[in-house]
Amino acid sequence: MMQNKVTEKYTEILMELEDFRKKDFSFQSGRILGSMCSEPHPIARDAYNKFLDTNLGDPGLFPGTKQIERQYISFVQSLLHAPPSSAGHIVSGGTEGNITAMWLAKQLSGNKEIIIPASAHFSFQKIASLMDMKLKPIPLTKSYTMDVTHVKRKLQTKTAAVIGIAGSTDLGTIDPIEEIADLCHDEHIFLHVDAAFGGYIIPFLKNTGYKLPQFDFLSEGVSSLSIDAHKMGYAAIPLGVVVFREKQWLDEISVPSQCISSKKQAGILGTRSGGPVAAAYAVSRYLGIEGYQQVVARCMETTTYAAGQICSLGLSLITEPVLNVIAVRLKNPLKVERALDSEGWKVNIIDHLSSIRIVCMPQITKEIIDEFIPVLQKVCQKVGEL
């Protein structure tokens, strides 16, 4: 009798959870067009579940999981042309990666000012508040990238770090990292590259012939770089990596750790699930460089197709897509966003550019774009955009 009651309660809870889940939008549906996260690859799901109860914060208990972490970080280091002296640290994503890098920059320099492009991710606002640091914004050029001439003017003895973006949140644009790196190298200033989005796209596109700027450790002035696997890496949420040029720098943000198997611990988090790391590792092994090249090439083909279809309606774009991000110029993006939402489509608003953002992630196909375009046209006609 008791067993029956337990089984009934178990089933009841799962049904309740299923009801909650039905209220969510899903990446699988293809109707989430504004997110930079992706539907995880099937092998990522399987790998994640196998490592649900592992904790990388206590590596002595999970040596196999720790080995996966080392091998996955090695894959990322190779992808980013990191030198043999480098070290990587697993983080939950771009925000934590940026915070960790700025924590290090502050420790190394003893300074509190961060030079950021006007396109910098909002995580830098958190950094300023958390670490009592001051942000020095740099205007953008007409191509929506950081204006290097203004960077040189802002550098001073109080500068802790300069930030460059490889795949901006708004438009997917890439700052002139190589020029910024040369400047930072000459002035001995810490340069962090936020490649949370672009880091899993640019290397593969360059391999397939796309002409994109250099953004990684090939430039000597790059000190650290953050990259997200749960975006274009096709992995499970949440998983990112921050890579530092010098392994010894991790000592600057390490603290003695007690009651666990490691004597020192770096980074912000103590407990870190091995599930997302196993998922990212599994996808990287399964797809490999060639597989990722095929994925990003399809995304760019879809982006080009979608941009053409949008323009054929009589709408215009903020800029030609650099990566798989499209910003559609509108008079009233909020009205369009709400109307699309009522039709079951999710896009994002870029208020300061008076536009909506569409990101052609791996789950977005040309067929989905063909479903979306008539809805966009109907909505834009209804609200007076066409």
In sequence order, the 6+-apart residues with CB closer than 8 A to the CB of 258 are none
**Model confidence at 154: pLDDT above 60:** yes
Residue 275 phi/psi, 5° resolution? -55, -55
Fold held by 25-40+289-383 = Aspartate Aminotransferase, domain 1 (3.90.1150)
At 64 the pLDDT is: 97
Over residues 76-114, the pLDDT tens digits come to 999 999 999 999 999 999 999 999 999 999 999 999 999
**Alpha helices of the chain — where are they, by DSSP H?**
2-22, 42-50, 63-79, 94-109, 123-130, 148-154, 177-187, 202-207, 275-312, 333-342, 366-383
The confidence band for 7, taking pLDDT boundaries of 50, 70 and 90, is: confident
Pairing label, strands 113-117, 134-138: parallel
Domain at 42-284: CATH code: 3.40.640.10
Over residues 29-57, the pLDDT tens digits come to 999 999 999 999 999 999 999 999 999 99
Question: Is omega for the bond preceding 238 within 30 degrees of 0, making it cis?
Answer: yes
**What's the rounded mean pLDDT across residues 214-220?**
97
Over residues 304-344, the pLDDT tens digits come to 999 999 999 999 999 999 999 999 999 999 999 999 999 99
**Model confidence at 59: pLDDT above 80:** yes
Over residues 139-151, the pLDDT tens digits come to 999 999 999 999 9
Q: Percent of the chain beyond pLDDT 90?
A: 90
**Model confidence at 3: pLDDT above 80:** no
For helices 63-79 and 275-312, the axis angle rounded to 10 degrees is 40
Based on the number of CB atoms within 10 Å of its own CB, is 81 exposed (0-12), middle (13-18) or buried (19 or more)?
middle
**Model confidence at 2: pLDDT above 80:** no
**Model confidence at 288: pLDDT above 90:** yes
The confidence band for 257, taking pLDDT boundaries of 50, 70 and 90, is: confident
Sign, CA dihedral 148-149-151-157, equals: positive
**Model confidence at 1: pLDDT above 60:** no
Buried b or exposed e, range 264-273, using 16+ CB within 10 angstroms: ebbbeeeebb
Residue 114 phi/psi, 5° resolution? -120, 125
**Model confidence at 258: pLDDT above 90:** no
Please give the structure tokens belonging to residue 101.
Answer: 């890098």
How do the domains of the chain map onto residue ranges?
25-40+289-383, 42-284
**What's the rounded mean pLDDT across residues 179-204?**
97
Over residues 352-386, the pLDDT tens digits come to 999 999 999 999 999 999 999 999 999 999 999 99
- The gap between the terminal CA atoms of the chain, to the nearest Å, is 66
